[in-house]
Amino acid sequence: MKIVVFITQTQDTEAKIKVSASGDTIDTEDIKWIMNPYDEFAVEEAIQTKEKFGGEVIIVSAGPTRVAESIRQALAMGADSAVHIEDEGFANTDSYTISKIVASEIKKIEGVDLIFTGMKIIDEESVQVGVQLAEELGVPHLSLVSKVMDVNPDQKIVKCQKEIDGGSVVVEAPMPALITCPDAMNEPRYASLPNIMKAKKKPMTTITAGDIDFDSLGISSDALSKNGAKVKTVNLVVPEVERKLKIIKGDDDPMVKGDEIAASAKELVKLLKEDAKVL
Amino acid sequence: MTTSDVISKLKSEINCNISTEKSDLETYGTDWTREFNPDPLAVIFPKTIEDVKNIVSFANKNKVSLTPSGGRTGLSAGAVAKNGELVVSFEKMNKVLSFNKADRTLEVQAGITTKEIQDYAKEKGLFYPVDFSSAGSSQIGGNIATNAGGIRVIRYGLTRQWIKGLKVVTGKGDILELNKGLTKNATGYDLMNLFIGSEGTLGLIAEATIQLTTQPKDSSVILIGLKNIENSIKVLELFREKLTLNAFEFFSHSAVKHVVKKLERNIPVCDTLPYYLLVDIETPSDNEIEIASEIYTNAFETGLIEDGVISQNPSQYRELWSFRENITEAISVFLTYKNDISVRTSQIPDFINDISAILNNEYPDFDTILFGHIGDGNIHVSILKPHDFDKEKFLNLCRGVNTKIFETVAKYDGSISAEHGVGLIKKPYLTYTRSEAEIELMKGIKKVFDPNGIMNPGKIF
């Protein structure tokens, strides 16, 4: 049984995001990159599935050179091999292009039974790549799966549990099928040091833009750029924090004396009447 | 003069905000220890070093004792005012006075928090390496007065190493400018270093010149499980020989269940081992990871370690650290009796075995937790009061067992207070670490700086 996991990289969740001068992208200078947390759940689920039902796990990722770090992390966690579709342009394109290209590479892997990926990527939150991959591959899509319950490689059936409001539901689908993984689906494992070293020796195939036949995929040759993307990010805005709390006190000292309290109380009443209009 | 006369006189002579509100007296008159009831005369909030000088001068004339108060995160009751002292809060002296790019130094007032200094340094592309979980509240003046340590001592040393100058007001009322930012100054007794760790008994620290340094490179953290504490220092030696260590921390199995409960996250290594190590190493390239892996593999194959994982990205780095950093908070739901003791690093395994034997003997039914900076030879011993056990009975029992613990510390020529200071809490046990002759000399030194004995009386000795 072959299990594919599609992973991406995102900014560290504690990175301080700054909008670049052009206003349509972020300043990446001091950014640290991590595996998209939802994809980490997908990798863990794929490895657990392999451990229970047998098979091999193949990581597929599309992105700049730095993405290799996250691929190595997935290999150290227990995946067996990887395909890196490497191009700086993936950072600027849209989910449609990504899905077209990634699906074409997954199709080249013979005998795939399951495809796992995160339910969304936490950078722009388009929540589309998983769904579009299933469409491009022509396979059923099981969304928001909380647990893979059973896999039958002979009968080619996968059975999963999904959480719904107030309960859960069990669904099954013929394989190959694509599963998108929600938050807290499992506890992604840490790699041991020996496994990190072994991961270096695991096969990783790198594909470049030159290897992609854009025409046959029905996308323009400049699809891996801002110009060629169908959906373009035109403006990024960091929300301004509106400070609604107003502290009234005599001065900046922790204690307020008697006459200052009277003045502060008058000020408070005035604001409650005029600004807040609650009196 | 009655208390209210003194307060009226203080208010008329000193131009600072002064509070005698009950809630302020309770807040500013104590620290994180909860053993003593605060009972200060008043709380005063100076804004400048001249204000501080005026306060000391007033105190000398009117026979008022002074207790300095910083972020009040101390764990030895060094900032507790329980005998009618005037509490001098540095809360309003919280400014950066200047930054010198060439010297990489920062002049600050004593009431600035450790975190504010760290953030300021970062903004300037530099680094202030002293760090601990209370960094957001603790103030640099208190850090200096207790020579605070924390999690990066193995690489960067204690607060002392990062102080280049102090402006203090002695107990006599003199302003001294000590060392003035110099790196080299071989001109007699080092009075600046005498004030570092003096716990407010010689004078009040008003301003400090802080040395900043280069930001550290990317780092990784390895969580290791051990079967024997004997192996911990062997593991330290192996890593330290070939890599730059940022921290080498330890916690006992008994800490795990509390942290796991608080974080709602399982520890990602075998959770039944008696000891765990957290090794923070600088890993600017794959080369260091490779070296770490070789060390790990050899240690694993020779049976030195049982299990381990390494962080592979910043979020894993934070998460592995969280298992160590959250211990104090996780056990804070219990009344905890704490000890902070140290020996030479090489003696740690024998020392921990001896301490564990005492704890098992004396507290067979209590939850006892060991953790700390064993790379620096420092362990924290925490004894948790069972919820249904009487508080006074518990504290008396703990104080009784202290004698046995400190006898063991003395046997190893160790310290009864590694990084928390002496304050009131460790005062009865000072002789386990310092000789009578040393204590007499310390008292003599205090007399020179504070002839009327007004500076934080009753602390240390």
CATH code of residue B195? 3.30.465.10
Chain A interface test: which of B11, B15, B17 (most A C-beta within 10 Å)? B17
Tell me B139's DSSP state.
B
Average pLDDT, chain A: 88
Coil/strand/helix, residue B295 = helix
Over 90: is that where the pLDDT of B226 sits?
yes
Chains A, B: CB pairs < 8 Å: 75
- Structural domain boundaries, residue A125: 2-217
Residues A147 and A252 reside in one and the same domain: no
Identify the pLDDT of residue B161. Answer: 97
Partners of A252 on chain B (C-beta within 8 Å) are 92
Query: For residue A252, what are its two tokens?
Result: 């900046």
Interface of B with A (CB under 8 A): 17, 19, 21, 24, 45, 91-92, 222-223, 265-266, 268, 289-290, 292-293, 296-297, 300, 307-316, 318, 320
Identify the pLDDT of residue B160. Answer: 97
Residues B290 and B392 reside in one and the same domain: no
Identify the pLDDT of residue A258. Answer: 57
Percent pLDDT > 90 in chain A is 52
What is the spatial distance between Cα B391 and Cα B44, in angstroms, rounded to a whole number?
Answer: 33
Cα angle A160-A76-B219, degrees, rounded to a multiple of 5: 125
Question: Looking at CA atoms only, how far is residue B314 from chain A in angstroms?
Answer: 7
What is the spatial distance between Cα A255 and Cα B85, in angstroms, rounded to a whole number?
Answer: 19
Contact by Cβ (8 Å): B318, B263: no
Contact by Cβ (8 Å): A151, A116: no
pLDDT in tens, B379-436: 999 999 998 899 889 988 888 889 999 999 999 999 999 999 999 999 999 999 999 9
Q: Is A235 within a domain?
A: no
- Residue in A closest to B89 by C-alpha: A254
- At residue A168 the predicted structure's pLDDT band, cuts being 50, 70 and 90, is very high
Q: Is A68 within a domain?
A: yes
What is the spatial distance between Cα B61 and Cα B53, in angstroms, rounded to a whole number?
Answer: 12
Residues B101 and B157 reside in one and the same domain: yes
Identify the pLDDT of residue A134. Answer: 96
Task: Give me the mean pLDDT over the B158-186 stretch.
Answer: 97
Chain A interface test: which of B270, B313, B317, B319 (most A C-beta within 10 Å)? B313
- Structural domain boundaries, residue B266: 219-328
What is the spatial distance between Cα B118 and Cα B398, in angstroms, rounded to a whole number?
Answer: 37
Question: Looking at CA atoms only, how far is residue A137 from chain B in angstroms?
Answer: 32
Question: Looking at CA atoms only, how far is residue A15 from chain B in angstroms?
Answer: 10
Question: Looking at CA atoms only, how far is residue B128 from chain A in angstroms?
Answer: 19
Residues B199 and B226 reside in one and the same domain: no
- Cα atoms found within 13 Å of the Cα of residue B112, Cβ hemisphere only: 21
Q: Is B114 within a domain?
A: yes
The backbone region for B303, taken as left when phi is positive above 0, alpha when psi lies in -120 to 50, beta otherwise, is left
Residues B409 and B341 reside in one and the same domain: yes
Percent pLDDT > 70 in chain A is 95
B213-214/A157-164 β-pairing: unpaired
Query: Is there a contact between A194 and B91 if contact means CB atoms under 8 Å apart?
Result: no
Q: Is B249 within a domain?
A: yes
Q: Is B224 within a domain?
A: yes
Residues A55 and A187 reside in one and the same domain: yes
Q: Which of A7, A84, A2, A82 has the alpha carbon at shortest distance from A43?
A: A7
Question: Looking at CA atoms only, how far is residue B355 from chain A in angstroms?
Answer: 32
What is the spatial distance between Cα B417 and Cα B74, in angstroms, rounded to a whole number?
Answer: 12
Residues B186 and B277 reside in one and the same domain: no
Over 60: is that where the pLDDT of A251 sits?
no
Q: Is B227 within a domain?
A: yes
Over 70: is that where the pLDDT of A257 sits?
no
Q: Which of B222, B330, B304, B326 has the alpha carbon at shortest distance from B268?
A: B222
Q: Which of A6-20, A179-193, B25-39, B144-158 has the highest mean pLDDT?
A: B144-158
Interface of A with B (CB under 8 A): 12-14, 32-35, 37, 69-70, 72-73, 76, 187, 189-194, 196-197, 252-255
**Residue B397, domain CATH:** 3.30.70.2740
Task: Give me the mean pLDDT over the A175-194 stretch.
Answer: 90
Q: Is B405 within a domain?
A: yes
Percent pLDDT > 90 in chain B is 84
How many independent structural domains does chain A possess? 2
Partners of B308 on chain A (C-beta within 8 Å) are 192-193
Residues B166 and B207 reside in one and the same domain: yes
Query: Is there a contact between B17 and A254 if contact means CB atoms under 8 Å apart?
Result: yes
- Residue in A closest to B316 by C-alpha: A190
Residues B208 and B277 reside in one and the same domain: no
Q: How many CB atoms lie within 10 A of CB B62?
A: 15
Q: Which of B21, B293, B311 sits opposite A194 (nearest CB)?
A: B293
Last residue of a domain, one of B273, B307, B328: B328
Residues A168 and A259 reside in one and the same domain: no
Identify the pLDDT of residue B364. Answer: 87
Partners of A189 on chain B (C-beta within 8 Å) are 268
If residue B359 lies in a helix (H) or strand (E), which one and from where to where?
helix B348-362
Query: For residue B259, what are its two tokens?
Result: 């942290």
Identify the pLDDT of residue B399. Answer: 87
- Tokens 């989910």 found at: A95
- Residue B252 sits at φ, ψ, to 5 deg, of -90, 165
Residues A245 and A169 reside in one and the same domain: no
Q: A82-106 b/e with 16+ CB inside 10 Å = b?
A: bbbbbbebbbbbbbbbbbbbbbbbb
| Beta strands in A165-226, from DSSP E residues, in sequence order | 167-174, 177-181, 204-208
Coil/strand/helix, residue B23 = helix
Calculate the CA B324 to chain-centre distance. 16
Sheet containing strand B175-178, strands side by side: B96-100, B105-109, B203-211, B163-170, B175-178
Contact by Cβ (8 Å): A83, A59: yes
- Where is pLDDT greater, at A92 or B74? B74
Residues A95 and A43 reside in one and the same domain: yes
Chain B interface test: which of A70, A71, A192 (most B C-beta within 10 Å)? A192
How many independent structural domains does chain B possess? 3
What is the spatial distance between Cα B34 and Cα B197, in angstroms, rounded to a whole number?
Answer: 22
Residues A202 and A254 reside in one and the same domain: no
Residues B370 and B292 reside in one and the same domain: no
Amino acid letter for position B180: K
Residues A201 and A247 reside in one and the same domain: no
Question: Looking at CA atoms only, how far is residue B278 from chain A in angstroms?
Answer: 14
Please name the residues in contact with A114: beta carbons below 8 A apart, sequence gap of 6 or more: A1, A2, A3, A4, A46, A49, A151, A158, A175, A176, A177, A178, A179
Percent pLDDT > 70 in chain B is 100
What is the spatial distance between Cα B295 and Cα B314, in angstroms, rounded to a whole number?
Answer: 22
pLDDT in tens, B293-312: 899 989 998 999 999 999 98
Residues B234 and B134 reside in one and the same domain: no
Residues A170 and A118 reside in one and the same domain: yes
If 0-12 CB within 10 Å is exposed, 13-18 middle and 19+ buried, where does residue B14 land?
Answer: middle
Identify the pLDDT of residue B373. Answer: 95
Residues A75 and A210 reside in one and the same domain: yes
Last residue of a domain, one of B214, B229, B251: B214
- At residue A164 the predicted structure's pLDDT band, cuts being 50, 70 and 90, is confident
Query: Is there a contact between A254 and B265 if contact means CB atoms under 8 Å apart?
Result: no
Each as own residue / partner, the long-range contacts of residues A256-264 (CB below 8 Å, 24 or more positions apart, any chain) are none
Partners of B289 on chain A (C-beta within 8 Å) are 193, 196
- Where is pLDDT greater, at A227 or B108? B108
Cα angle B163-B168-B172, degrees, rounded to a multiple of 5: 145
If residue B435 lies in a helix (H) or strand (E), which one and from where to where?
none
Residues A206 and A253 reside in one and the same domain: no
What is the spatial distance between Cα B32 and Cα B224, in angstroms, rounded to a whole number?
Answer: 31
Q: Is B144 within a domain?
A: yes
Q: Is A223 within a domain?
A: no
- Where is pLDDT greater, at B330 or B438? B438
| Residues paired with B66 in a beta bridge | B86, B455
Over 60: is that where the pLDDT of A252 sits?
no
Query: Is there a contact between A254 and B19 if contact means CB atoms under 8 Å apart?
Result: yes
Residues A73 and A210 reside in one and the same domain: yes
Query: Is there a contact between A196 and B320 if contact means CB atoms under 8 Å apart?
Result: no
Residues B224 and B148 reside in one and the same domain: no
If 0-12 CB within 10 Å is exposed, 13-18 middle and 19+ buried, where does residue B127 land?
Answer: middle
Contact by Cβ (8 Å): B339, B372: no
Q: Is B406 within a domain?
A: yes
Query: For residue B48, what are its two tokens?
Result: 């400048």
Task: Give me the mean pLDDT over the A188-198 stretch.
Answer: 87
Coil/strand/helix, residue B342 = strand
Identify the pLDDT of residue B306. Answer: 93
What is the spatial distance between Cα B457 and Cα B461, in angstroms, rounded to a whole number?
Answer: 9
Residues B180 and B237 reside in one and the same domain: no
Q: Is A135 within a domain?
A: yes
Query: Is there a contact between B313 and A73 if contact means CB atoms under 8 Å apart?
Result: yes
- Residue B395 sits at φ, ψ, to 5 deg, of -65, -40
Identify the pLDDT of residue B83. Answer: 95
Coil/strand/helix, residue A210 = helix
Question: Looking at CA atoms only, how far is residue A18 from chain B in angstroms?
Answer: 15
Question: Looking at CA atoms only, how far is residue A46 from chain B in angstroms?
Answer: 18
Query: Is there a contact between A192 and B310 if contact means CB atoms under 8 Å apart?
Result: yes
